[in-house]
Chains A and B, each alone.
Chain A
């Protein structure tokens, strides 16, 4: 599974870097960049999901590999209605 930040969609809130620092990093202007462009290891999938749900710009999304199943946690509509409720 790979994750992407949509071209020109990031607003620079930095939530992804705070929440998933092993996956996301900043560019020189403070916009988010995927630091693991080749794929997200299984143990980081859940923090990416959290980053996706916290991004105020809704700029982050999974790119399913064509021959791979999409993890259940990342199957979301554009508004992710009903998926934004998780609490510890």
Chain B
């Protein structure tokens, strides 16, 4: 690994040419560091490719190809959005992401009012004071891991608020996420236990919401009716699990990538410190370049797609982070241009399944970065080579050893 390697462009020469597509595996820990180089290679050779790993699946990297598949909800179903299909538990449905229209439309419509930009904005003051108080906890330290000390807590806090889970349970949540996402791949028993514990916990929370009136997302789901009937227990829990996984690990990864970038690119960091109004534009570019999530589809009927003979039941992986590097859609896609104006990235999807929490995620990223830079305008990564990336469908740094030593701007004490 060389400095800045996750932001470098693809070095196809270092990759074993013809093996790249058949051996593509987002669960392979040995290839996570060269993910962007692999994407660039596939984009240049075969934007519609096939991998032999994980039982076999189609690997889609092209921007227009992903757009066409994502929009064709008839030929390509969301019934399974992971590759391999059964990731969390066999046959489990996490609505609305695992539903197709028209069922999807009904369920999503139910949730949308809770996920508007206006609703997200209501969270801003509390989220900001959360960020400040988390930073206060590390005040005085010169070196620490910003991922565990800061960034991880932000989506956990926001998600617990959204769902209506007690703030004192946030640490427990962090533990489950850690086990399921980071330890899970190598310790399936621990992961299964964590999944079970989390499900039991969510069931208790649902029960508590049935006992008394609340105003949060769980309350909405508990009281909702679809076609005159309440949402079934399994679908309700499935939806909550989706909210937890969709809301926490993704945003944590994106925030870590953003901080990693700013901690290794002082010129971009200084620019945002000098002109904080540029932060939302920079966030879009960092979201494009360091997109965390790949998502799957299932072929519903034998389909020829750009010459590929796709069979009913085949798994497809839509590599949104690769689409965001497609030279057909972006000028100089290999460069981070923090004031990039034209930026049609697919980080939040390209279809009716657009990430429902995108407004909240953008808020978390903006507030998280604003408060971080306000406190540590001159922070840097201790060692940019000391990179620990996650394996699996959500990609991003998992450790951010930062040095804020002489540079911290401690807040003025208030009464």
Interface of A toward B, CB cutoff 8 Å: 11-14, 17-18, 26, 28-30, 50, 53-58, 79, 81, 83-88
Contacts and interface: CB of A to CB of B under 8 A. Distances in A.
A87 B339 CA distance: 7
B359 A30 contact: yes
A72 B116 CA distance: 34
Interface stretch (B237-245, B289-297, B325-333): B325-333
Given A14-B117, A26-B116, A56 B350 contact: yes
| Chief secondary structure at chain A's binding surface | loop
B4 interface: no
A50 B341 CA distance: 7
Contact of A50 (B109, B112, B280, B342): B342
Given A11-B351, A29-B109, A53 B344 contact: yes
A14 B115 CA distance: 12
| Chief secondary structure at chain B's binding surface | loop
B344 to A, nearest CB: 6
Interface in B33-58: none
Instruction: Pick the 10 closest A-B CB pairs, nearest first.
Output: A85-B331, A30-B116, A11-B354, A29-B112, A53-B342, A88-B339, A86-B342, A84-B342, A86-B341, A87-B340
B7 interface: no
A78 to B, nearest CB: 10
Contacts of B112: 12, 29-30
Interface residues of B, number: 31
12 contacts: A13-B354, A14-B358, A14-B359, A29-B116, A50-B342, A53-B342, A56-B349, A84-B344, A85-B331, A86-B341, A87-B331, A87-B341
A17 B362 CA distance: 13
Nearest to A28: B113
A54 B354 contact: no
A56 B348 contact: yes
Nearest to B285: A87
A26 B121 CA distance: 13
A36 B124 CA distance: 28
Contacts of B341: 50, 53, 86-88
Contacts of B351: 11
B113 A54 contact: no
A56 B344 contact: yes
B344 A54 contact: yes
B250 to A, nearest CB: 15
A79 B329 CA distance: 9
B354 A12 contact: yes
